[in-house]
Each structure stands twice: as structure tokens, then as C-alpha cells.
Structure 1
Amino acid sequence: MSYLSYPRINFYGRFFTDPSTVNNDPTHYEVDNTVPSPWQNPKGLHRFQLQECSVVSTIGASGEVSDPLVNLPFVTTDQPSSAKIADIDVYQQGVPTIYGMQVSIPISEGVSLTGLVDPAVLNQLWWVAVLATRSWQDSDYMMDSFGGDMNACGVYQSVIRVPQATWPADSVSPVLALLKSQTTLEDGNYLISMRFVVDGYRNVPEDVNFQTGRITGSLGPVIGSEPRYNPGARLLAGRTQDKSDPWNWPMFNNCPFVIDQNRKLLILDLANGICRQNAGGAPVDLGTLTANVTLADNSQVSLGNVDYSEFCYNLYSHIVEMPLSDAQLTQVLSGSLSLTISRTDIGPQMIFQENILQTTIEVEVRPIRMSGFPGTTSSTSVYVSRLQEPLVGKQLQVDVVSVHGNTPGATVPPSNPGNTPQADGAIEAAISPTDANGFATVTINVLSDPGSRTPQLDGQLYFINITDPEQLVSEPISQSAMISCLVWSAYPINENPTWPEIQEIFAGYVKLFPGMTEKINLIDYNSFQTFALNPPFGLYQAPPGPLGIDAGAIPFFMSREVTDPRYMPVTRDMSPERTMTVLYYVKNMQDNPITPPTS
């Protein structure tokens, strides 16, 4: 049950992020578009940081407990650099990934719980998490006066890796001592499940909270073979609703939940499911919210009222624990859960319902980047379950979709062309039957060079949808069941590149990421040469990089692991072959520093 188990450490506060948005428009990647529109934050540096965050509660086996962690800060360390957030592609801005985030709870002088977070990917993103002030129609001022980002909400789930040697002594915190005993020890690190929900992001420069939003999150154990980047839980789907409905009918998203049989609890995660009254504000007034279970004979049993209050959101990360009697426990294990409201003036009263026949499909790593040479392969795992139990020997199917502007899930207007015809049939995907723990493996294979959409938009984008062939596929497909795969063009590494080739490689970055260009103009030869030769890697306390290069800021940052927050380019959309071509140019420049720029 990961973060839905115990002990649980809840935090609340704000987050800061400043991604550049110049690269959000496909037309900006056209070579003849030399002066792209600035959008909202052209000089953003793609940082992601926690602000004003603290531990607000701790949960034990029997509910909330007192612990020294409560009221302590929950921070990002910015070590060795600020975490970075980046989209996989302009046509897929729905899976932004946070790289290199290190989090910490400083406890006392020299004592902290500090660990590195695996790359965290946004999931279950919805754009209508704030009640409209005019209507739900897109044409009506995009629903309200706030702007799209302020209306959006989504969830991240990942794993924090805390070195065993630095875990605080058991005497420091009973909750941390219990967490250590409950969680997984792997490769010298204790693993912590981390789920956090973000909403209410302010993208208007005049706003006093510009570039910040609200964050609420929970930490818990990583247990056995459960999925690490998904809840692996049962799921309540929000009621079906159309944008033609009245403005005062709130929208709803999905809510994972689990049944803890040992503790006889129904545990609901409402944080990403209920529409807010305003951006980053309280849930919409629903009257009384009641949990019910529908039995096989279609009779319905009430399980009690659900606390969906703002207080619960702020203090418990909107995770609600409801005790169950023996009879209720038996009923909910096989029955269908639903949540109903007492109000009758804001649409149908059943706002969440579980389909107990539906196969739950959760891809563990959903964004994938691949080189475009035939024979290149990549893979990811998929957790398959039903009623909180893994499905064994289950054979799913995969469908590879070449992404165009009108492809469901594409994050640009349909007027944008998307992939070129060369992309068709360039990759294939297959999926294995699920193993004893409910995991299947999706393998992606490059068959031919996919080419590029423009000289400055490398590669082609694919959605790989995973479905149960025995069930009717709903549209749009769940975000959890879709892989976004960027396949770069097959660019041969050039060991003797010329300066014009290097300029061409960096031209798009200089145009689309002015924040980086302010620091280093990568198509200006004098600037490039200065930062390609200096300083020595010793300044960074790093060994030589590829090709034995041991100096230069440019090769240092370009040779970091993609998970390193210092990796360049920060947007992580340069192919390994283009990167190596740049590094060969740097190597040749260092060996022959007076090489003229035109050679």
C-alpha cells in the first residue's frame, strides 16, 4: 500500500518552479521562426523547489500520533543543484518529470532524514480542478479568469533513497524508527514512498505568488513487490460530466483507495479528486459526503461519512482513514465502492464510483527517450491488478500511435501537424504476460530511422497505449496506462565535426531557452570556446568524462547522467549521438585550441 500504509508522514506548503514556456509551441521549432513569442516565462531555468513546507502530521497504526518530526521543515536541499523539471516533448506536456530532487527533514544539528528522489513523473493531470466562474465551455474565456495552469492539478509518486548510514537513530523519532522497520532496504538505501499533489500554480507575473503553487504530500514505506511509482490500489472514477453542464456543477477526477484488512480500514486518497472552490483553495461544498458499497444483489450499504474538508487536506494530505466493522470489511472486499453527496443542486449525487470488473493498468516509467537507430530497444514494467490484487498470467495488448496534432492526449492545438510520414511503422512494441507479482514488461524496438519533425524538433513522438483486450476501451485512455516515447532521429556520431554543425545542433536551444543563453551563448564561438576549455573538472571534484575530457563547463554538464540536476541541456531533448558529436568537437578543440571556427 506504499504511502497509503503506515507509518505516514504528511507535509504541506508551497512549491516553486520556473520552466521556460517558449518551447511549448510547435511553431517555435520552425527554422524560419527566428523570434518566437515569449509566452509566460521565457527566461525560466526549469528549477523545482519546495518552499514553506513542513511536516504537519504523522500517522501510526492506530491513527495520528505525536512525534518530534511534526512542525519540522520539509525542504529541497538544492544539492548538487536545484532539481529540474522538463517535458518529454512539445506534443506531450502532460508528463513533466522532476530530476535530481533531494529532500530533507532537518531534525537537529548534523541529524536529518535526507535522500534522493527517483525521477518523478506527473500523473492523473486534469485541467478543470477549479470550479468555473463563467462556464465550462472552452470558448468562454477558457472557463474562468485564472488561466489554465491555475486550474490544473496532478499527482507525483516516486521513491526517496536514504543512505542506510545516515538514517537517524531510533531514539530521534518513533515514527522514523517504525518506518525503517517497515520499509525496504535496497543497495544500501532505505526506500521511502513519496506521493505529492500540486495545484494552484500561479503563472501570471503580477501575482504576488508568481511561479509558486500549493503542494501536499505523504511519505510511507515501500513494501515488497508493490509498484513504486503508482498506488497499486483500487480506483474511484469521478462522475462523467460534459462541459455543457451548468458552471456550478463541479468536476471530479480519480481517487485511489485501499482496504487495510489487518487494521480494518478503508483508506481514501481524495487529494487529486475533488474540484476546488478557487485555485489552490478549499474543496467545493458537497454537503455531506458518504461512502457506500454496492453488493452483488445491487443492495447498497453505507460505510459512513467521509471527511473531505480543507482541514483534512492541509493536515492529512486528504488521506482519509475510515474504520470498518467485520461485516463492512467483508462487504467492501468484493463490493463496489461509491461516494455520494447530500446536495441535489450541483449535478448527480454519485460523484465517485468504482468499476470492480475493470482491469487497473499502471505503467511504472511512462516517459521514454530512445535513439533512432534500428535495433535500439527500451523497456518498462506495467503493474496489472483488480480489486487491489495483482493479476497473474494476464496478457494485455499494446497499440503504437504516431502522434499528430489531433491525436488524443497531444498537448497542442489540432492545427499542428505532429509526426511526419517517416514516423509511421518506425517502432514496434510488445508486452509479456504478467508475472507472479502482477508485473508485465513492455519492450519497444526501433525498426527504422523515424526522422525528425523539423531540423530543430528532433525525432518523433509516439503514444503506446496498453489495454485489456477482454474489456471495452474507453476514450481517452487512462494516463497511467499510456507510455510517451520520444524516438530521436538516427544521427551518426561525427568524430570530426565542424563549427557550423555545432551551431546547428545548438541553434534551437539558444532560441527556445533564453535563460540558458544568458549564461552561455552556445552558438557564439568565443563564448563556446571559453566554457569548453575552462574550468578543469577538478573544480567540480569530478573524474574525467567521455573521451578523457577533464576540463570545460560545457562538457562537464553535458556528460552528467540524465538524472543529475546539472545535466545540460536542462530540457533533456538532445539525443546521445548529438551530445557525443559536441563532445568530440570539444575534445578536438582542447587538443588543438587554435582551430578556426569555420573548420
Structure 2
Amino acid sequence: MSYLHAPRLIFTGDFLSDVSTVNNDTAHYNNATFKPNFQAPGKGATNGWWNPEGGAVFDFQNCSVRQIFLPDGSTHSNPAFDPILGLAVCGAEGRPTGKMVDLDPDAQMVSALWCVQLRICDANGNLLLKGDIATTCFRDIQFRQLDGGKSNGQPLGATWTSVMTNVVWGDLAGQSNFLQVLRTTTRQNMLSVNLNPFGYYYAHNDGRFSLGRIIGSIGPYFEGEPTTFAAGRRLYGISYTPSIQSTYFNISNFLVETDAKRVSVDFGASFPVTNSMGTINLNQPLRLAVSKIPQTGVAGPATPTTYIAPGDFIDIGELPYQSGPDWLNQTGGIVSFDQLPDNTLNTLLDHQLILITPSAGKPGQYAIIARESIDGLFVRADNFVQRLDYGQVAEIDFYAFQWGKPLQNRPISITLDQPTPDTPLGPPPNGNPISEVYGNNYPSEGLTFQSTIVTDSRGRARMQLTGNAIHSPRVYIDGQIYSLTYQLNAVDGAFGAENLQVHLRDYFEEIKHPAWGDIADIMIQYSNLYPIMSKYVVNLADPADLIRKKNILIFAFSQDIQNTMHMPVTRDLSETKRRTILNWLNDPRIAGKTALQLKAKHARAVNPVASDAALSEKQIKYRQAVKAKNGSFQGFPGTDNLFENL
């Protein structure tokens, strides 16, 4: 994608992610079995995990511009060359910070940034550049820390790729030649941005709790490109490391520019680091090369190392990394080789790029650490995470490439993953479980989509994904999580398959004049899952407190989902549930029959034998548990068309 193009800017520093962890545990969603200690900090499922009072805040901290790369291939890091070097990179001013929110407790590996703003300012706070980062979810999660995350608790890293919209060029932008070149190069007054977070601290030590390291790259945006991933080519790690039971250099984007005779590879998300701060202790030579012969090696504990002889590759050059944290922080891990010889460039246009190192066990041979896919094939969905209501249709764009060029008239197959099983939790072997964790990917009729789509002349294919009516398949968690696998036909089997993640919300009819019982289960659940709200802002489980503070809640619930003032947790809600809560806040009624009870009464007048037979066995058990705990059942979100015994 264009963040690898020139001109590009590298910044590094820390990020703050004050995520809430009570809502990470699926069993905590069960109102019938929720316990007060589930909101207490600590380790394990008997409490709220490591940050129960998190507020979902995301922000940049201690970040600065470290390097710029210009179209002529020159790299600069001295502020004397351009005043943007060394300046602060920070978040929004005068409004709440951005948010980091999971899709669902059953889909925590596609965490999204919402409403994040990025600014570059001088020491006095004067603006050079700012823009809003379009909502994006991270992907390409891979092992980073060779110490296994012992100091901080999280050894993995990931990548957010997006575009910056509403770009503002500050009064001081004219003083930076780099920004002037960037402004004339980019299109539609947008910029591309890539963020690689790693080294995140779960551990409550070293003064870095809820902080991590972040590497950022900003470059021009070009019309027609995807916005959530790098269009082009990729290296895949095939060197398995037994000590970490994984590969390193697992996924690296790269770009080949024929006019500049340049190849640029982004190791910022894949270079193995010793610790949470990005220290590199490798001391082996690493080289980029073009393989003359097809490479098919894969990673795995039982897979032998793949070797290549010097006569079977064309050398490009050695990676100029160094031990310590400076290289990664200074360069963002992006390596560019300019003015490639014609033979090297021409071979690279339709042969695999490889990352190699001299073999200690086989003199004269090189071990292949990472390779491009067979035939240079690559397919990826752009807007790959979806939140859907009943009847809502999402259009998802897929892009297919071969050797970095659009791949035309190629079918892409899409399949729904198999259902996952329900899992009881609690004291074995008998007795009532604490809860039951319900599986995903069912009912299959929840989604409608094409099983095959075909790319057009630009290598793009569009799929329509429709959400159908489902009725609480996970009983106490709204909606269902679906995972869809897609791949090019006949693509490299080792690296070809990717996934879409969908949260389909329960069918729910808006209630125009709700009683408290119509929304009680929703609000009690949010009070359980987000203690920071109920402890410090408003008790979401107390209708009297909601009435006292209803104006601020009406404001928060009324904001657009892309607005930073939007109540973050309500991104879990269908539009009809959100409107029902707003209807109650605008006309709060504590007493009175619920809409569900009124429907049931009407149904029994028509059919006296109507009963709970319309409910699933899972839902009946849940209702019985809620009644046993609370003495009554107030309402059951998502099943308003089912009958309730009166």
C-alpha cells in the first residue's frame, strides 16, 4: 500500500490502551451467574482479569518523528534537514481520545481503533498536520518477543492499516519540505497510515501497565487502493523456532517500484525483538534475494529447514539492522534497496522474493527464513470485520494480486466455518455449572452470501453479505460470531486462506414505549461488564440513577457510532436496541408490563395453549436461572417474538 511509497514518515513511541477486561470473559455475560468478584482485578476467571476498570481509551504517548524517506531514495533523521524530524506525534486535543474495542468476547483478535486522531506538533503545540484515522481492526498477529513476554505479559504484535481523513495541514506545514512533497503526492486529501503495536503490558510493574510500543508509518494515499491492508506483495516466515513454538519474520509487506528500480520491505511488524522495548539481539547476516527456482517450504515443528545454493538466487543486499533498540525505533523496520540492476529487477517482477541467512550447518548454503507465496499470489478482503443487524447488507471488497499486479478473472471461494461446540463451565463432574459458553458459527442461516466471486479487470471482487434473523443462539450474549474463510482457487496452500469476522446481532423489534423491564437485562449486563461506568459515572443497573443522569446518557446514546462521544459499549448493540434504550431514557417508566409480556398475553388470548415451547432449551434454562437468582425474569433481549409464561 502507499504507506510504503515515498515520501514516507516514520514515528515511534508508546501507545496507551486502557482496555476493559471484565468483558473479555464470555462467562461474565451471564447475568444469572455473575458475581461481584468478577469485577475485581487479578489473574484468572474468578475475577475481572488484569484491568477490570478499563475505559477503552487509546492514545499516542511519547511518540516522535524519527525518519523521513524521499522519492529520490534518500533517508534523513537530522532535524537540521527538515523541521518535522523530532516533532511530537500525539492524539486529539480538546476532545476525548480514541477508543480500542474488541468485536466480541469470542472475537478478540480483531480489535478496532475508533475515533483516533493523529497530530504532529512542535514543542509549543503548534500544528503541522492532523487527520482522523478511519476505523480499522488489527490483523497479521504474530510472535514478536523472543523472551515470550515474560516482563510484560504479551509477546505478540499486530498491524493496524488505515487512511487518515479530514486531513488538516497546519500553518507550520509550509516550513517542512517533506510535508509539501507529501501534500502534492497524496490524493483526495487523505493519507495512508500503518501502525505496528507490540510489547503491551498486562503486568502491573515497571510503571508501564497498559502501555506498549508502537511503530507508525505515514505515506500518500492513491485512489482505488484498499484502505485496511497493503496492496502488493508479502513475505511469509517459514523458519520454525522450537523455543517459541512459532516462526519469526512471519508476515512482511513489500513493494516493488519499477520506475525507481526499488524494493521496500516492511519488517516493522515481524522483526523478532528480545523484549518489550524492541531491543534486537540477533547477530546473524540477513539478506534479501530473488529466487530463480520456485520455493515451497513451509513452517512447522516437523518441517525441515529449506536451503538454497548461491547459484539459485540473485542477491539484493544485506539488511542494515543493528543490535539494540535504535534501528527499529529509527527506521520503523522498513528497508529499501534502490537502483536495482536491470537483471535483478526484471527477475523480481515474476519470481519470489526471499529472506535468507548463511547456514552454519551447511557451508556454502543459505537457509530460507521467509519466502513469497508460490506464483506470487495474494488475496485479501478490505473491510474484513463487520457488525450486522437483521436485514442489513454489507458490501465487502476483495483484492487479488499476482506479483503485485491486479489479478483478473480469478474466482475467490468463500465458506462458512464449521460450528464450534458449547462448553459447560463449573465444578466437575456434577452440579450446576457456573455458566455455559456457547459456540459460534450457527445457525448457518444467519448469513446469506455468495460462495464464489470473480475478480474484475482491477483485480477486485465484491461480495454482498446479508444478516438474517437469529434469536439469541448464545442465550446471554447478543447475537452470534461468524467466521468465513476465503481464498483464491489453487492458491499457495501454506498461506492462501484468510478470514472474515462478522458479529450478527439478534433480531429485535424496537419498543416505542418501553418499561424498565424491557431494557433491564441489557443495562444490568453493561453494569456488570463495565464497572468503570457504574462506579464512577452512572449505575447502569439502577433505573433511578439512570433517570437522574439521563441527559448525559441521551447525549452519549444519540451520537453516531463514528463519533468519539458515542458510548463505546453500545457498539455491541443493534440499532433497534439502541433506539429502545433511548426511547426509555426519553420517557422512563420503571413499572409496567414489558412488551414481551404484553405480546405473550395477547398470544394466549388467541391461543390459550401457547407456552414456553417456542423457546429453546438453552433459553428456558437461562430464564430459570435468572428467576432463581432475582426472583423474577424482567425481559430477555433478542427474543421479543417468543412467549413468556404469565
Provide the TM-score with structure 1 as the length reference: 0.85
Q: Which residue of 2 aligns with 1:60?
A: 70
Given that 2:117 and 2:130 are in contact with CA atoms closer than 8 Å, whether structure 1 keeps it comes out as yes
Q: Which residue of 2 aligns with 1:155?
A: 159
Counterpart CA distance in 1 for 2:356 and 2:436 is: 41
Distance 1:170 1:84, change over 3 A: closer
Given that 1:499 and 1:597 are in contact with CA atoms closer than 8 Å, whether structure 2 keeps it comes out as yes
Deviation at 1:312, TM superposition (A): 2.8
Q: Does 1:290 align with 2:287?
A: yes
- SS of residue paired to 1:471: coil
Query: What letter is aligned with 1:570?
Result: V
Q: Which residue of 2 aligns with 1:84?
A: 99
Q: Which residue of 2 aligns with 1:540?
A: none
Q: Which residue of 2 aligns with 1:17?
A: 17
Match of residue 507, structure 1, among 513, 524, 537? 524
Q: Which residue of 2 aligns with 1:524?
A: 542
Counterpart CA distance in 1 for 2:13 and 2:6 is: 22
Q: Deviations over 1:193-236 (max 9, x none)?
A: 00011100111123311110111111000013222211112111
- SS of residue paired to 1:425: helix
- SS of residue paired to 1:226: coil
Deviation at 1:285, TM superposition (A): 0.6
Distance 1:147 1:52, change over 3 A: closer
| Residue correspondence of structure 1 range 197-216 to structure 2 within 5 A | 197-216=196-215
Q: Compare 429-438 and 553-562 and name the one that shifted more.
A: 429-438
Deviation at 1:148, TM superposition (A): 4.6
Given that 1:450 and 1:460 are in contact with CA atoms closer than 8 Å, whether structure 2 keeps it comes out as no
Counterpart CA distance in 1 for 2:387 and 2:228 is: 18
Counterpart CA distance in 2 for 1:5 and 1:389 is: 16
Given that 1:400 and 1:429 are in contact with CA atoms closer than 8 Å, whether structure 2 keeps it comes out as no
Counterpart CA distance in 2 for 1:586 and 1:163 is: 36
Given that 2:11 and 2:332 are in contact with CA atoms closer than 8 Å, whether structure 1 keeps it comes out as yes
Deviation at 1:265, TM superposition (A): 1.2
Match of residue 110, structure 2, among 87, 90, 95? 95
Match of residue 495, structure 1, among 486, 489, 512? 512
Distance 1:528 1:597, change over 3 A: farther
Deviation at 1:178, TM superposition (A): 0.6
Counterpart CA distance in 1 for 2:83 and 2:59 is: 24
Q: Does 1:423 align with 2:443?
A: yes
Q: Deviations over 1:473-525 (max 9, x none)?
A: 448x65xx311001011011111111122221112111011112221111212
Counterpart CA distance in 2 for 1:194 and 1:406 is: 40
Q: Which has the larger radius of gyration?
A: 2
Q: Which residue of 2 aligns with 1:469?
A: 489
Counterpart CA distance in 2 for 1:90 and 1:22 is: 10
Given that 1:131 and 1:251 are in contact with CA atoms closer than 8 Å, whether structure 2 keeps it comes out as no
Given that 1:250 and 1:275 are in contact with CA atoms closer than 8 Å, whether structure 2 keeps it comes out as no
Match of residue 389, structure 1, among 405, 408, 424? 405
Q: Which residue of 1 aligns with 2:121?
A: 106
Distance 1:424 1:287, change over 3 A: same
Given that 2:268 and 2:332 are in contact with CA atoms closer than 8 Å, whether structure 1 keeps it comes out as yes
Query: What letter is aligned with 1:360?
Result: F
Structure 1 residue runs without a partner (length 5+): 133-142, 408-414, 533-551, 590-594
Q: Does 1:275 align with 2:243?
A: no
Counterpart CA distance in 2 for 1:14 and 1:500 is: 44
Counterpart CA distance in 1 for 2:441 and 2:287 is: 52
Q: Which residue of 2 aligns with 1:538?
A: none
Q: Does 1:565 align with 2:564?
A: yes
- SS of residue paired to 1:81: coil
Query: What letter is aligned with 2:472?
Result: G
Given that 1:270 and 1:308 are in contact with CA atoms closer than 8 Å, whether structure 2 keeps it comes out as no
Query: What letter is aligned with 1:201?
Result: Y
Query: What letter is aligned with 1:511?
Result: N
| Residue correspondence of structure 1 range 291-310 to structure 2 within 5 A | 291-296=288-293, 299-309=312-322, 310=325
Query: What letter is aligned with 2:444?
Result: D
Q: Which residue of 2 aligns with 1:316?
A: 331
Counterpart CA distance in 2 for 1:49 and 1:250 is: 30
- SS of residue paired to 1:89: coil
Counterpart CA distance in 2 for 1:238 and 1:114 is: 35
Match of residue 123, structure 1, among 139, 153, 175? 139
Given that 2:152 and 2:199 are in contact with CA atoms closer than 8 Å, whether structure 1 keeps it comes out as no
Given that 1:427 and 1:445 are in contact with CA atoms closer than 8 Å, whether structure 2 keeps it comes out as yes
Q: Deviations over 1:277-325 (max 9, x none)?
A: 1223223415111111112588211111112334331111110011212
Distance 1:437 1:314, change over 3 A: same
Distance 1:573 1:122, change over 3 A: same
Query: What letter is aligned with 1:302?
Result: D
Q: Compare 111-120 and 277-286 and name the one that shifted more.
A: 277-286
Counterpart CA distance in 1 for 2:366 and 2:312 is: 19
Match of residue 379, structure 2, among 340, 350, 361? 361
Q: Deviations over 1:53-83 (max 9, x none)?
A: 0111111112214211001101001553110
Counterpart CA distance in 1 for 2:222 and 2:128 is: 23
Query: What letter is aligned with 2:398?
Result: V
Counterpart CA distance in 2 for 1:406 and 1:329 is: 53
Given that 1:79 and 1:102 are in contact with CA atoms closer than 8 Å, whether structure 2 keeps it comes out as no
Q: Which residue of 2 aligns with 1:219?
A: 218
Distance 1:197 1:406, change over 3 A: farther
Q: Compare 37-46 and 289-298 and name the one that shifted more.
A: 289-298
- SS of residue paired to 1:357: helix
Match of residue 150, structure 2, among 145, 148, 156? 145
Q: Does 1:451 align with 2:472?
A: yes
Q: Which residue of 2 aligns with 1:256?
A: 253
Q: Which residue of 1 aligns with 2:394?
A: 378
Q: Compare 29-38 and 39-48 and name the one that shifted more.
A: 29-38
Given that 1:57 and 1:70 are in contact with CA atoms closer than 8 Å, whether structure 2 keeps it comes out as yes
Q: Compare 306-315 and 49-58 and name the one that shifted more.
A: 306-315
Counterpart CA distance in 2 for 1:335 and 1:421 is: 39
Q: Percent identity?
A: 23
- SS of residue paired to 2:209: coil
Counterpart CA distance in 2 for 1:22 and 1:109 is: 37
Counterpart CA distance in 2 for 1:44 and 1:255 is: 32
Given that 2:419 and 2:441 are in contact with CA atoms closer than 8 Å, whether structure 1 keeps it comes out as no
Counterpart CA distance in 1 for 2:559 and 2:393 is: 22
Query: What letter is aligned with 2:528?
Result: K
Distance 1:299 1:227, change over 3 A: same
Counterpart CA distance in 2 for 1:97 and 1:370 is: 16
Q: CA RMSD in A?
A: 2.6
Q: Which residue of 2 aligns with 1:136?
A: none
| Residue correspondence of structure 1 range 222-237 to structure 2 within 5 A | 222-237=221-236
Deviation at 1:31, TM superposition (A): 2.5
Q: Which residue of 1 aligns with 2:8?
A: 8
Match of residue 351, structure 1, among 355, 369, 391? 369
Match of residue 265, structure 1, among 253, 262, 276? 262
Q: Does 1:184 align with 2:217?
A: no
- SS of residue paired to 2:344: helix
Q: Which residue of 2 aligns with 1:592?
A: none
Match of residue 73, structure 1, among 88, 95, 100? 88
